[in-house]
């Protein structure tokens, strides 16, 4: 009986989805389109002038994101020079991208994998003993899709002991709780509780990280 009810629910949901898609396609020539020429900066506030941003653009391209530059110490020094707050023992051995170092705070003994992209129009705070694996994208901004596509920004907080595995996306406004793990290719669109293992798109709870 329960399986029959579940089957009817799935079929009904699929029928509604198909009806919606047909109705949208049938009116595609008259449907609403957001005028991108009206898009604005929304709640984004620049924290540095054009000259500083231009200088950082060159430093990021030539050194920070340079695969021929293996020096973690140099990357850390330059990030700090442009306003990042970085603790002790952090490893920036691999090339990565940082939109705004003045919006970046990192604790102690953190690891950053190759091709990590920190797109921090708003502050991103990373705790201590955090591992952010290769290809992960942290974005503190998005657009208001229902109106004028204005830019919207909100901070990201990654607490101590978190491991974000490879090729994940972490969206604006979320907090990832202490010692949580995000499995590969996941999209984090909401805050995650501590000590859980999460995965998928959208990201969901899978199990507890620790047995006791």
Structural domain boundaries, residue 72: 48-200
Q: What pLDDT score was predicted for residue 25?
A: 58
Asked if 63 and 31 touch (Cβ cutoff 8 Å), the reply is: no
Q: 3-class SS at 139?
A: strand
CA distance 129 to 163: 9
CA distance 53 to 199: 35
CA distance 92 to 109: 10
Position 212 in a domain: no
Q: What pLDDT score was predicted for residue 41?
A: 78
Q: What pLDDT score was predicted for residue 48?
A: 81
Position 210 in a domain: no
Our count of domains for the chain comes to 1
CA distance 112 to 94: 7
Position 12 in a domain: no
Asked if 80 and 99 touch (Cβ cutoff 8 Å), the reply is: no
Task: Provide the H-helix boundaries in 140-182.
Answer: none
Position 192 in a domain: yes
Asked if 209 and 179 touch (Cβ cutoff 8 Å), the reply is: yes
Position 24 in a domain: no
CA distance 78 to 101: 9
Position 159 in a domain: yes
Q: What is the CATH number of the domain that holds 150?
A: 2.160.10.10
Position 149 in a domain: yes
- For 133, other C-beta atoms within 10 Å of its C-beta total 19
Task: Provide the H-helix boundaries in the chain.
Answer: 2-26, 50-59, 72-81
Position 190 in a domain: yes
Query: Can you list the residues of the chain whose pLDDT is less than 50?
Result: none
Q: What pLDDT score was predicted for residue 82?
A: 97
Parallel, antiparallel, or unpaired: how do β-strands 151-153 and 141-143 relate? Answer: antiparallel
């Amino acid at each position: 009986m329960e399986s029959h009810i579940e089957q009817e629910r799935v079929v009904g949901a699929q029928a509604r989805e198909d009806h919606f898609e047909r109705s949208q396609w049938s009116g595609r020539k008259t449907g609403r389109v957001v005028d991108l020429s009206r898009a604005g900066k929304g709640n984004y506030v620049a924290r540095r002038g054009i000259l500083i941003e231009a200088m950082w653009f060159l430093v990021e391209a030539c050194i920070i994101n340079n695969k021929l530059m293996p020096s973690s110490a140099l990357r850390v020094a330059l990030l700090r020079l442009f306003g990042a707050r970085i603790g002790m023992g952090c490893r920036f051995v691999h090339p990565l991208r940082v939109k705004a170092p003045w919006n970046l705070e990192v604790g102690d003994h953190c690891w950053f994998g190759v091709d990590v992209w920190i797109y921090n129009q708003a502050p991103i705070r990373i705790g201590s003993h955090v591992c952010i694996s290769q290809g992960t994208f942290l974005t503190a901004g998005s657009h208001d899709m229902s109106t004028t596509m204005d830019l919207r920004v909100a901070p990201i907080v990654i607490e101590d002991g978190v491991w974000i595995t490879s090729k994940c996306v972490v969206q604006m406004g979320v907090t990832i709780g202490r010692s949580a793990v995000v499995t590969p290719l996941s999209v984090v669109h909401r805050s995650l509780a501590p000590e859980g293992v999460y995965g998928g798109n959208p990201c969901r709870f899978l199990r507890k990280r620790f047995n006791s």
